[in-house]
Amino acid sequence: MRRRSLLLTGLALALLAVGAVHEALAGPGPSAAATTTTSATGTTEATPALASVWVTQVNGAVTPVLSDYLIRTMEKAHAGKVAALVIEIDTPGGLDSAMRDIIQAEIDSKVPVVLFVYPQGARAASAGVYILMGSDVAAMAPQTNLGSAHPVSLTGQLDATMSAKVTNDAAAYIRGLATTHRRNAGWAERAVRESVSMTAQEAKASDVVEFVAADLPSLLAQIDGYTCVPKGITLHTAGAPIVQVSMSWRDRFLQAVVDPNIVFILMLIGIYGLIFEFQSPGLGIAGVAGAIALLLAAYSLQLLPVSFIGLALIAVAMVLYVAEVKIQSHGALALAATVALILGGLLLFDIPGSFVRVDWAVIAGAAVVSLAFFMVVVTAVARARRRPFTTGLKAMVGESGKARTRLDPDGQVMVHGELWRAHSEEGSIEAGAEIRVLAAEGMKLTVGRSAANGPT
């Protein structure tokens, strides 16, 4: 089993290493295997070296993984001399540092960056509003919405003075972006201070976005000939070849790992794996899986705003679960551990109003599974402790044998074909008489007459 675990672990690490080398050599741009090239009218064409339009999708939270991907994609687009980079976005918001990195890349990009809130039903909330305001072209699909950009503290509640400072800083930042790109700076500031939102049609009528388009071909037809502000680049996108660019498997994996729900589950898997490994020493699958899960959780925790109180409560929950197995408090410690686990999940990312939190359903599911599992383990341990001993000296108690020599009161007896030193607690016992083991200590047995013998 140990060799098999080592082999599986080595194979997994080798595959990851090969994938990492491949990604480093390939970069974030389109590849021959993953590139789909069509014209804006839907007919298939060969992708020319110039005048193509790259399209990529952003779904979910704005994280450092996403910002790294978009920055690399913008750099690759410039190297490929494309006509424009269209980012189809649907996000509830994200981290301020990642958002600012993306906006800075948009500003520095030599290729026009088109932000398209798409598909219908999508939204660009919180950090998504800032990113859209920093783009060269802002567009929305029908039945999408934009807004609610009030900043949220990553360290919990702020006092009135600090809250005002943070809000004023965010308002000035988004007002500057909107003004530079000749968009409605007044509404942008209200989105920060009052968390207002609007539909695609309202945004177009209020000069918050430049275009409303039902789909990508319609968007490319509308923006053709449009001159970006402030870069002064005129777009030529009508009939341009479309190149779909997507995240690599590595980027998709890391983006999924930084999801708060996944982080919480990885932490539990890691802790459970280590608990099982310590209970059954040896390099087993449980220990390897637990270590990998904890390392992945640690990677995510360094990127997310984490509460140390939440981490401490989860650690306390695990200690109490283990104590329940060892002490058997008839479920009292397991219940206390479940309460600590629920509170730890709720406080792990204690950011009121933020998307960075563990869902109630995930917390409840983890609590129920953990409680049920450890109660099953406790029941099994209790049942095992009630069974009679089957090995060791204590298993000798109650066994029958024969006196090899006269016990007066010490002598030798034969039990299970083995010769033992023995002491009689019932007076002298003649050689050859049937005996039974009353106790065992060290290498000496305490014996008495077998019920069939009676007193001598």
Within 13 A of 127's CA, how many CA atoms are on the CB side?
Answer: 28
pLDDT for residue 22 is more than 70:
no
pLDDT for residue 200 is more than 90:
yes
**pLDDT higher for 380 or 1?**
380
How confident is residue 454, by pLDDT bands cut at 50, 70 and 90? low
Domains in the chain and their CATH numbers? Answer: 26-252 (3.90.226.10), 258-386 (no CATH), 393-449 (2.40.50.140)
**pLDDT given at position 4:** 42
pLDDT for residue 250 is more than 50:
yes
pLDDT for residue 18 is more than 70:
no
**pLDDT given at position 303:** 80
pLDDT for residue 40 is more than 50:
no
- If you compute the radius of gyration of the chain from its CA atoms, what whole number of angstroms results? 35
pLDDT for residue 181 is more than 80:
yes
Q: Are 127 and 174 in contact (CB under 8 A)?
A: no
The mean-pLDDT minimum among 38-52, 150-164, 389-403 falls in 38-52
pLDDT for residue 256 is more than 60:
yes
Q: Are 29 and 73 in contact (CB under 8 A)?
A: yes
Q: Please report which helix (H) or strand (E) contains residue 339, including its range.
A: helix 332-347
**pLDDT given at position 13:** 39
**pLDDT given at position 356:** 72
Query: Within 10 A of 291 (CB to CB), how many other CB atoms are there?
Result: 15
Task: Compute the average pLDDT of residues 196-213.
Answer: 97
Burial class (CB in 10 A: 0-12, 13-18, 19+), 164: exposed
Catalytic residues: 126, 165
Q: What's this model's pTM, rounded to 2 decimal places?
A: 0.68
Q: How distant, in Å, are the alpha carbons of 385, 386, 388, 416 from that of 441?
A: 20, 21, 17, 17
pLDDT for residue 10 is more than 80:
no
**pLDDT higher for 350 or 63?**
63
Q: Show the CA angle centred on residue 40, arms to residues 38 and 46, nearest 5°.
A: 30
**pLDDT given at position 222:** 96
**pLDDT given at position 351:** 59
pLDDT for residue 80 is more than 70:
yes
pLDDT for residue 183 is more than 90:
yes
**pLDDT given at position 151:** 82
How confident is residue 385, by pLDDT bands cut at 50, 70 and 90? low
**pLDDT given at position 258:** 87
How confident is residue 241, by pLDDT bands cut at 50, 70 and 90? very high
- How does pLDDT run across 280-321, given as a tens digit for each residue? 655 678 888 888 999 999 988 888 878 888 889 988 988 888
Q: Distance between CA atoms of 325 and 333, rounded to whole angstroms?
A: 9
| Pairing mode of beta strands 211-212, 197-199 | unpaired
Q: Distance between CA atoms of 190 and 150, rounded to whole angstroms?
A: 9
Task: Compute the average pLDDT of residues 145-157.
Answer: 75
Q: Which amino acid is at 255?
A: Q
Mean pLDDT of the chain: 82
Percent of the chain past pLDDT 90, that is, above it, reads 43
Task: Compute the average pLDDT of residues 338-363.
Answer: 80
**pLDDT given at position 381:** 61
**pLDDT given at position 349:** 80
Q: Distance between CA atoms of 127 and 134, rounded to whole angstroms?
A: 11
**pLDDT higher for 364 or 4?**
364
**pLDDT given at position 194:** 94
Percent of the chain past pLDDT 70, that is, above it, reads 79
pLDDT for residue 24 is more than 70:
no
**pLDDT higher for 350 or 436?**
436
